[in-house]
Amino acid sequence: MAKIRPKIHFLCSACGDDFPKWYGQCPSCKEWGSLSEYKISHKKNGRKLETRESRSLASILAQEPGTRISTGLKEADRVLGGGLLSGSLLLLGGSPGVGKSTLALHICAGIDRKAFYVSAEESEEQVGLRARRLNVNSEHLHLSGENELDGIISHIERICPDLVIIDSIQTIMNSGLDSLPGSPSQLRDCGQRFLEVSKQKGVIIMIIGHVTKEGIIAGPKMLEHMVDTVLYMEGDDRYDHRILRSAKNRFGATHEVGIFSMNEEGLKEVINPSEMFLAERSKEIPGTCIYPSLEGTRPILVEVQALVSNANFGTPQRNVNGFDFRRLSMLMAVLEKRMGIVMGTKDVFVNLVGGLRVDDPAADLSILCAAASSAMDKAIDENIVLLGEVGLTGEVRSVSRLEYRLTEAKTLGFKEAIVPKGSFNERIKKIGLKIHSVRSVNNAFKILF
């Protein structure tokens, strides 16, 4: 009898689409050189074909909704939208050494239910060492160094945990596939199987994934489409704090952040992040001001620093940490054209202190004023906070949730605020800050300098 040869397909590592032949450029996502070969084996991997009945919406609504399980960390619960939802599949990404395994271990200890930690990346002893350092001693936690997909699933069936941690998906393999762990076909297949297990058994599966140089989770984007929630852990070697963000959440709002500080005993929640970000604040020095940022539903005050100096080389430099580079160039153009401050021959450096990244245009006014303050060598009053989106004509546009931001500023002892006229209302007046509502950058400058 003729031997059945495995069928060869080509899988895109960027979008996860597959094709019967090879292309230099992926026809779906137009990425170059992302297609790699994978073999579809004819071996059946012993799975029974299960058909699922359809149900009426009314019968589903009559049922109790899935329960939320607290992770024991308030910061993590907030990012998840109130806790882990049973039967959900999560993906946690982050750069090497940022603390993904640490967070996962804290969650295992915190949920106070049966958890199963698959540490394919480290031996059980190494995880044990970390658990000792973090002071985690949970009877409900099972560990395994298994890296074979079917092996892991049979462990899950035997242990019946409420939470499974897969550390990391790049080291798990399905031996039925003819490719290495971490390859697009393995990631796709393993992700699909974990999805089936989580939905069928109602177990929460948290997959840890490595990130690429660009900071996105390595592997097909499809992995992100498959899961219910995508979390990213960010941090900087220079700082102790770590920020947990949700990039996608089917059961909660995105853009919430959780803030932790990392030390020898692991991750600790930061209850008042504004205090932490303003701890080493420079006062009465030209080039700094305070911006009341809003991360999700949570206000965080950050110090904006700018340094404007004469450019020594032909092309002036623009450098920014924590804010969009192109937006900074636009703000510098507004400063030059509308306010007459020459920026074309100046180097401009802007930093949001503490490593926070802000993509809200409400930060425009504070960045613009910090740069102007440095250029004119005039300090901004230390008791003032400022915010507003700046338009191309130099107008200051309204921002969202002004009340929350200003209440936080009041709590931290600030006295005045420069806000867009469009966002001003009666409730703002009652906060107890002296409010200057402005229509343009020009108005704001008259108050500040």
Q: Is 202 in the site for ligand ATP (CB under 6 A)?
A: no
State which of positions 126-155 bind ligand ATP (CB under 6 A). 133
3-state SS, one letter per residue, for the chain: CCCCCCEEEEEECCCCCEECCCCCECCCCCCECCEEEEEECCCCCCCCCCCCCCCCHHHHHHCCCCCEECCCCHHHHHHHCCCEECCCEEEEEECCCCCHHHHHHHHHHHCCCCEEEEECCCCHHHHHHHHHHCCCCCCCEEEECCCEHHHHHHHHHHHCCCEEEEECHHHCECCCCCCCCCCHHHHHHHHHHHHHHHHHHCCEEEEEEEECCCCCECCCCHHHHHCCEEEEEEECCCCCEEEEEEEEECCCCCCCEEEEEEECCEEEECCCHHHHHCCCCCCCCCCEEEEEEEECCEEEEEEEEEEEEECCCCCCCEEEECCCHHHHHHHHHHHHHHHCCCCCCEEEEEEECCCCCCCCHHHHHHHHHHHHHHHHCCCCCCCEEECCEECCCCEEECCCCHHHHHHHHHHCCCCEEEEEHHHCCHHHHCCCCEEEEECEHHHHHHHHC
Of the candidate spans 31-39, 53-61, 258-266, 430-438, the one that interacts with ligand ATP by CB under 6 A turns out to be 258-266
Q: How far is the CB of 43 from Mg ion (least distance, A)?
A: 32
Q: Which one of 102, 174, 374, 440 is in contact with ligand ATP (CB under 6 A)?
A: 102
Nearer to Mg ion, 101 or 246 (CB): 101
Q: Which one of 101, 171, 374, 440 is in contact with Mg ion (CB under 5 A)?
A: 101
Q: 256 contacts which partner out of Mg ion, ligand ATP, none, CB within 5 to 8 A by kind? A: none
Q: Is 119 in the site for Mg ion (CB under 5 A)?
A: no
Q: Is 171 in the site for Mg ion (CB under 5 A)?
A: no
Q: Is 171 in the site for ligand ATP (CB under 6 A)?
A: no
Of the candidate spans 96-104, 220-228, 326-334, 341-349, the one that interacts with ligand ATP by CB under 6 A turns out to be 96-104
Q: How far is the CB of 101 from Mg ion (least distance, A)?
A: 3
Q: Is 94 in the site for ligand ATP (CB under 6 A)?
A: yes
Of the candidate spans 54-62, 100-108, 280-288, 309-317, the one that interacts with ligand ATP by CB under 6 A turns out to be 100-108
Q: 16 contacts which partner out of ligand ATP, Mg ion, none, CB within 5 to 8 A by kind? A: none
Q: Is 262 in the site for ligand ATP (CB under 6 A)?
A: yes
Q: How far is the CB of 262 from ligand ATP (least distance, A)?
A: 5
Q: 432 contacts which partner out of Mg ion, ligand ATP, none, CB within 5 to 8 A by kind? A: none
Binding residues for Mg ion, rule: CB under 5 A, are 101
Binding residues for ligand ATP, rule: CB under 6 A, are 94, 96-102, 121, 133, 262-264
